[in-house]
């Protein structure tokens, strides 16, 4: 098991944003988390990546409990993530955004960087080559010298994925990767996400757009901070609780 949460719970004051959530992700899988607005999906991501500290429960990554670790330490362990809002460094160019993300696993020390030593040069050269590869893969090479803040939203989302990918993660958490994208962009992004999975990165994603569910292996459904169902998308289509959460309870069906 690559990632496992055990009875993960987070209270904000008296409100349980996430309560007793058990999810697990196998290596190489692509797993989706769905649920209505405010169900606690982003909170769950923040708990896993250390941006929030759980009230109780465990998060195990590669059989190791990572609760209480700082976000940058968790990032170094190999969990990359994107953000729903504000997903990038606004005043950096697209290229700089991706290049900066390579600093997670630098091949030279900060001292070498300061003194401009050969190891630093080699690392910088390596970074530019690799960054361009990622930009090409995600179709961002045309805009690589634009400031990130000037990009349309779909491109910004894509850049968020590029940044996370540049950290070379074992597990990639995507927070609404299709949010704010046009129909054409959605198809392209789904292709990209499949490619990333096929390259051996495990993916856990949150999404409203049900199109994405066609390409995930398994789904967890969350509502009011609780896990209400799990399974493949076909299994969930039959699940009444899920239907109720998404479409409301049918009065006739409920009374009959």
131 binding other proteins? (CB under 8 A): no
From 10, 41, 81, 218, residue interacting with other proteins (rule: CB under 8 A):
81
Q: Where are the beta strands (DSSP E) in the chain?
A: 3-12, 15-25, 30-34, 56-61, 64-65, 79-81, 171-175, 202-206, 218-223, 226-231
Coil, helix or strand at residue 56: strand
Tell me which DSSP letter residue 44 carries. Answer: H
Judged by CB under 8 A, the stretch of 3-11, 112-120, 179-187, 218-226 that binds other proteins is 112-120
Instruction: Report the C-alpha gap between 134 and 199 in whole angstroms.
Output: 13
Nearer to other proteins, 55 or 84 (CB): 84
Contact 96, 89 (CB under 8 A): yes
Contact 8, 21 (CB under 8 A): yes
Owner of token pair 């989706």: 32
Nearer to other proteins, 116 or 256 (CB): 116
Site map (CB under 8 A) of other proteins, residues 177-216, x = contact: ----------------------------------------
Judged by CB under 8 A, the stretch of 8-16, 27-35, 115-123, 185-193 that binds other proteins is 115-123
Nearest partner of 62 among 146, 111, 1, judged by Cα: 1
From 1, 90, 210, 254, residue interacting with other proteins (rule: CB under 8 A):
90
Site map (CB under 8 A) of other proteins, residues 58-77, x = contact: ------------xxxx-xx-
Q: What is the dihedral of CA 102, 104, 110, 113, to 10 degrees?
A: 0
43 binding other proteins? (CB under 8 A): no
From 9, 16, 22, 51, residue interacting with other proteins (rule: CB under 8 A):
51
Total residues binding other proteins (CB under 8 A): 35
From 5, 19, 42, 49, residue interacting with other proteins (rule: CB under 8 A):
49
100 binding other proteins? (CB under 8 A): yes
Nearer to other proteins, 49 or 202 (CB): 49
Q: Provide DSSP, 143-190.
A: GTTSBGGGS-HHHHHHHHHHHHHHT--SEEEEESTTTT--HHHHHHHH
| Chain positions contacting other proteins, by CB under 8 A | 49, 51, 70-73, 75-76, 80-81, 83, 86-92, 96, 100-101, 103-106, 110, 113-116, 120, 163-164, 166-167
């Amino acid at each position: 098991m690559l990632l496992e949460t055990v009875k993960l719970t987070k209270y904000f004051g008296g409100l349980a944003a996430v309560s007793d959530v058990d999810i697990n992700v196998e290596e190489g899988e692509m797993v989706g988390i769905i649920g209505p607005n405010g169900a606690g999906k982003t909170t769950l991501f923040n708990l896993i990546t250390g941006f929030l500290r759980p009230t109780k429960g465990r998060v195990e990554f590669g059989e190791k409990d990572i609760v209480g670790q700082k976000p940058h330490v968790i990032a170094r362990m190999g969990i990359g993530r994107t953000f729903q809002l504000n997903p990038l460094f606004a005043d950096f160019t697209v290229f700089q955004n991706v290049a900066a993300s390579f600093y997670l696993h630098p091949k030279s020390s900060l001292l070498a960087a300061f003194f401009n030593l050969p190891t630093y040069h080699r690392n910088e050269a390596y970074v530019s080559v690799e960054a361009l590869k990622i930009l090409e893969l995600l179709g961002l090479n045309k805009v690589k010298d634009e400031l990130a803040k000037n990009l349309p939203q779909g491109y910004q989302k894509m850049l968020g994925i590029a940044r996370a990918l540049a950290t070379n993660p074992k597990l990639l958490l995507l927070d609404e990767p299709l949010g704010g994208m046009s129909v054409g962009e959605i198809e392209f992004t789904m292709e990209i996400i499949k490619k990333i999975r096929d390259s051996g990165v495990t993916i856990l994603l949150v999404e409203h757009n049900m199109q994405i569910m066609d390409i995930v292996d398994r789904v967890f459904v969350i509502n009011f901070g609780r896990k209400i169902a799990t399974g493949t998308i076909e299994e969930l289509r039959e699940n009444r609780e899920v239907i109720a959460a998404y479409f409301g309870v049918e009065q006739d069906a409920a009374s009959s």
